[in-house]
Structure 1
Amino acid sequence: MSDLLPVTRIPRTGLPPRAVVVGDPFRAERMAKRLTGAVEVAHAREYRTFRGSWDGTEVVVSSHGVGGPGAICLFQELTEAGVDTMLRLGTAGAMQPGVRDGDLVIAEACVRDDGVTQQLVPPEYPATASPELVLALAAAARDRQAPHHRGLVWTRAAFYPGLLPVPMPAYVAAGVLAIEMELSALLVHGSLRGLTTGGVLVIDGVAADELVGTTGYDPHRDVVAAGVERGMDVALDALVRLS
């Protein structure tokens, strides 16, 4: 048997037990530059993995690409390699007034519309974050004076709208804070495998007003970049707070 796992090509053994997962391989690289003694341990397809230390604690930073079906391959193989705590740092579209570009949203639970967990568990099965990680993220955000919100997130598989109506108004009325594409897959995987999992998302646009007709999507703005920088520090701080 190969010493490397088949999809991500990460080593089967020897990784630290705590990981931050991100969508963009280049974001993984930028985040790894924050770590002490960072080294790249694997790069295959959209999956790019680094290890290093933050405040004296060894961590993994790895990218999973876009969408739940591909992302859950990374989550599965990190678990097989010995990771037991995974925190997603991503971007999301705002769905509520007062949730602004660059703000952080700390997910307490997700609406499961991710395109993969529907094939793994019954529809009634929840996607919930580990409470200790939610609290660690909130504390880290306060310490960093990062604007943040806690609540529900909608994980949706389709990025661009098609012929079918998007049920945005119902979820807005239900108080869902933001929409993204991968987090519920991580939370369900974590519950099934007994892991500590959670997510913090940087707002990069206003989905509630713009998803239908045109996305108006422009994540390449200074306010978003500043939010991502804060999000990286908050995610790493929260990850090493756990003991």
Structure 2
Amino acid sequence: MTSLTDALPVTRVPRTGLPCRAVVVGDPGRAAAVADLLTDAKEVSYHREYRTFTGTWQGTEVVVASHGVGAPGAILLFQELAEAGVRTFLRLGTAGAIRPGIRDGDLVIADAAVRDDGVTQQLIPAEYPAFSAPEAVVALQRAAREAGAPYHRGVVWTRAAFQPGFLPLPGEAYAAAGVAAIEMELSALYVFASTHGLTAGGALVVDGANADDLVDEDDPFSTGGYDPHRDVVARGVDRGARIALDALRLLAAAEH
């Protein structure tokens, strides 16, 4: 593990020496599971929700790190990983499907994100878009095809609040516009990356049905029938991890 004097303040990742490509996830346990896929995996820091590993995937050196739940905390990880040398970020997360025809365990490759994340509105005007690097979308799509994985492309809705409250959600409008899924961190990654000259993409495993179907009308703070702890989701996450790592390998190969 890195000594405190050689670590960045929030995440405790090393100040220098990290590989330049990273897979970022929400759950520290998921970070460990993805790291288990690597050769010579090493945990380099674990502070709060931020757990970081380095290792090699099929000859490509990578970082795997967790950012916790929600964009305000996640963007702190992105900032410190970038300071430590990361230049390409792929987020592997989970999401609730909005667009019809997207099933549990499927992968959503996000071309762009709706900026309802609760943090980027304080960093840059709302008119600034949250978009994936095109090469990241292409690499994720190719990796998904080569894996034979069911996948979809589209815009995702990044929303700060996990559970609905007393205010109406614009879910019907976003569904009518063809938004594919809802999650909590990706737009922050896209805005941070594009404003700092970095490469970012996102692949989200569907762990629930249409977001409106998960709301209990008698209890607006209930998550209803939401259950992400199912085999179909676990299989999708494992497959998605390999796809994200393969996409990093493809991106690395394209640079040479």
* Candidates 208, 227, 236, aligned match of 1:218: 227
Residue aligning to 1:108: 111
1:209 has 2:239 as partner: no
* Letter matched to residue 89 of structure 2: M
Q: How does 1:74-223 map to 2 (within 5 A)?
A: 74-213=77-216, 214-215=222-223, 216-223=225-232
In the alignment, structure 1 segments of 5+ residues that lack a partner are none
2:239 aligned residue: 230
Aligned Cα RMSD in Å?
Answer: 1.0
Partner residue of 1:31? 34
Kept in 1: contact 2:99–2:210 (CA 8 A): no
Give 1:239's aligned amino acid: L
Unaligned runs of 5+ in 2: 217-221
Q: Which amino acid aligns with 1:238?
A: A
* Cα distance in 2 for residues equivalent to 1:207 and 1:194: 34
Q: Does the CA-based 8 Å contact 1:96-1:208 persist in structure 2?
A: no
2:243 match: secondary structure: helix
**Shift of the alpha carbon at 1:53?**
0.1
The 3-state SS of whatever aligns with 1:226 is helix
> Within 2, Cα distance between the matches of 1:209 and 1:155?
15
Structure 1 length as normaliser, TM-score?
0.98
Q: Work out the CA distance in 2 between the residues paired with 1:72 and 1:4.
A: 17
Distance of 1:209 and 1:4 partners within structure 2: 43
- In 1, Cα distance between the equivalents of 2:66 and 2:215? 28
1:2 match: secondary structure: helix
Letter in 2 for 1:240: R
Q: How many Å apart are 1:151 and its aligned residue?
A: 0.7
For 2:122 and 2:99, the matched residues in 1 are separated by 30
Query: Is the 8 Å Cα contact of residues 20 and 89 (structure 1) preserved in structure 2?
Result: yes
Q: Give the SS at the match of 2:172.
A: helix
Q: Deviations over 1:121-164 (max 9, x none)?
A: 10100000000000000000000000000110000000011111
Output the CA distance in 2 between the equivalents of 1:226 and 1:159: 23
- Give aligned-pair identity as a percent: 70
Hey, what's the Cα distance between the residues in 2 that align with 1:4 and 1:102?
Answer: 37
Alignment counterpart, residue 57 of structure 2, candidates 48, 54, 57: 54
